[in-house]
Amino acid sequence: MSDRVSLTIIGAGVVGCAIAYKLSSKFEDIVVVEKNSKVTAENQSSRNSGVIHSGIYYPPDRGKLKAQLCMPGNEQLYEFCKEFNVPHAQTGKLVVAAKEQELDYLEDTMRIARENKVPGAKLLSAEEAQKMEPNIRCLKAGYFPTSGIVEPTQLIHKLYSLAANAGVFFLTGTEVVGVKPLTDGFEIHTISGSQKEIFESDLVINAAGLYSDKIARMVNPDSPYDILPIRGEAAKFFKNKRADIHHAGMNIYPTPYAIYPNGKKADVPFAEYKKLFTEKKVLKTVGVHLTPTFDLINNEYQIGNLVTIGPATQRVDERENFSENLLPPEHYLEFVKSFFPNLTLEDISLHQAGVQAKLVQQYDWVIQPDEKFPRCIQLIGIDSPGLTSCLAIADYVKELVESI
């Protein structure tokens, strides 16, 4: 590697890899620096629900980026997965209101879907929803046919290999520990094992996920953004165990709700939720849901017998603690029993945990040139639907880079 490169991307999660892939035709010397020893390792991108979102959770009045990039991301992701043989399925999704109080939350979800022009969004009666998923119980449901699932590690690996084959250089097992602005670029300080290196870069893209706030401050100490790590744990059950827990294969979600910082549900009417949310006393979550999941069967990723239940979310201090203090199966049952009543404690086993990079200061993502050093594009707080939107985010970043 030379002492100066055109572009350095910090972080090889799905977003860093998608940006590397999209920009590989524009620059001959791109370096991606990743602190993990491989690209599909411990990060948000490898530990998530794998849901391809349709765009129903992101009200345009609360920030334009999620609303603007989720739907084009959804469309591009299906095309990409088809073209490059990445395991995926357009399963469709039901958002179910199981109690009277949840009907207002459902109406709000339908409103956002209408505002974002989510294709095919439809309100269903209980009977219509149960024709699709016979074991659910609800009063009404929203149906969103463009929702689906993708196998996240296969997606990252494909983006990585396309970028690497196009000449992008991946420095894995290497941590960025300093970014010093120069008059015409940046000096990048790295550590790999005990080896320290310094090289220069004309441009920098911060795609460091859970550490994106820290990288932002290495570039510009006045950067105002902070990451709030939110752990999302998942459990699983095997749908073929009994006919009454058989799952026909859709994404099944409750209506979105609010949780307090300790992970407890704010079981309140919609008007009260809006008040708590405005006062920043609660976080909005898509809720503990059922997702068909890819499994490695005879060396091939297939949708098998496994259904994931999650994420059970709570605020945590550590950004990378994936194993300790896992929530018990009772927690999952509590959240899904109203709409999936036949599941029992014995059916549930624990599955995995991930940590999401939420922004403290705002609901929407930050994707913009740094205010003081605009040759650095900052991507801070890329939480859900970052997986769905990765290719659209990469297009957006490409436009920003072209405008420098």
Ligand X SMILES: Cc1cc2nc3c(=O)[nH]c(=O)nc-3n(C[C@H](O)[C@H](O)[C@H](O)COP(=O)(O)OP(=O)(O)OC[C@H]3O[C@@H](n4cnc5c(N)ncnc54)[C@H](O)[C@@H]3O)c2cc1C
DSSP state of 117: T
Q: Which of 282, 355, 366, 376 binds ligand X (CB under 6 A)?
A: 355
Please tell me whether residue 210 binds ligand X under the rule CB under 6 A: yes
SS3 letters across 276-318: HHHCCCCEEECCCEEEEEEEEECCEEEEEEEEEEEEEEEECCC
Query: Of 20, 40, 47, 91, which lies in the binding site for ligand X, with binding defined by CB under 6 A?
Result: 47
From the list 110, 354, 367, 391, which residue makes contact with ligand X (rule: CB under 6 A)? Answer: 354
For residue 152, give the nearest of 86, 210, 206, 212 by alpha carbon: 86
Give SS3 for 236.
strand
Residues between 289 and 348 that touch ligand X (CB under 6 A): 311
List the interface residues with ligand X, window 159-188 (CB under 6 A).
Answer: 175-176
Least separation in angstroms between residue 185's CB and ligand X is 18
| Nearest distance, CB of residue 379 and ligand X, angstroms | 6
Minimum CB distance to ligand X, residue 74 (Å): 9
Q: How far is the CB of 393 from ligand X (least distance, A)?
A: 8
- Site mask, ligand X, residues 357-386, x = CB under 6 A? -------------------------xxxxx
* φ, ψ dihedrals at 246, nearest 5°: -65, 145
**From the list 40, 49, 54, 378, which residue makes contact with ligand X (rule: CB under 6 A)?**
49
Interface segment toward ligand X; rule CB under 6 A; list 122-130, 139-147, 209-217, 257-265? 209-217
285 binds ligand X (CB under 6 A): no
With beta carbons less than 8 A apart as the criterion, state whether 239 and 252 touch.
Answer: no
Q: State which residue, 263 or 386, has the beta carbon closest to ligand X.
A: 386
CA gap 385, 67 in Å, rounded: 10
* Stretch of 28-36, 119-127, 221-229, 322-330 contacting ligand X, by CB under 6 A: 28-36
CA 104 to the chain's CA centroid: 26
Q: Which of residues 217-236 bind ligand X (CB under 6 A)?
A: 232
x/- track of binding to ligand X for residues 127-166 (CB under 6 A): ----------------------------------------
| C-beta closer to ligand X: residue 142 or 385 | 385
**Candidates 6-14, 93-101, 133-141, 276-284 — which segment interacts with ligand X by CB under 6 A?**
6-14
Could you tell me how far CA 2 lies from the centroid of its own chain? 34
Q: State the DSSP code for 26.
A: T
Record the tokens describing residue 185, joined without a space: 């670029």
Rounded Cα distance between 247 and 293, Å, is: 11
Q: Which is nearer to ligand X, 47 or 140 (CB)?
A: 47
Q: Is 16 in the site for ligand X (CB under 6 A)?
A: yes
Give dist(CA 10, CA 16) in Å, integer: 7
- 48 near ligand X, judged by CB under 6 A: yes
Please give the Cα distance from 356 to 363 (Å, whole number): 13
Size of the site for ligand X (CB under 6 A): 40
**What is each CA distance from 310 to 50, 61, 71, 145, 263, in whole angstroms?**
11, 27, 23, 21, 13
Q: Shortest Cβ distance from residue 244 to ligand X (Å)?
A: 26
- CA–CA gap between residue 19 and residue 37 (Å, rounded): 20
Backbone φ and ψ for 380, nearest 5 degrees, come out as -125, 135
What is the spatial distance between Cα 313 and Cα 297, in angstroms, rounded to a whole number?
29
The least CB distance from residue 192 to ligand X, in Å, is: 10
- Minimum separation from the CB atom of position 126 to ligand X (A): 26
Kindly list the distances between the CA atom of residue 115 and the CA atoms of 59, 102, 118, in Å, as whole numbers in the listed order.
8, 20, 8
Of 95 and 270, the one with the shorter C-beta distance to ligand X is: 95
Q: Point out which residues bind ligand X (CB under 6 A).
A: 10-16, 33-36, 43-45, 47-51, 53, 175-176, 207-211, 215, 232, 311, 354-356, 382-388
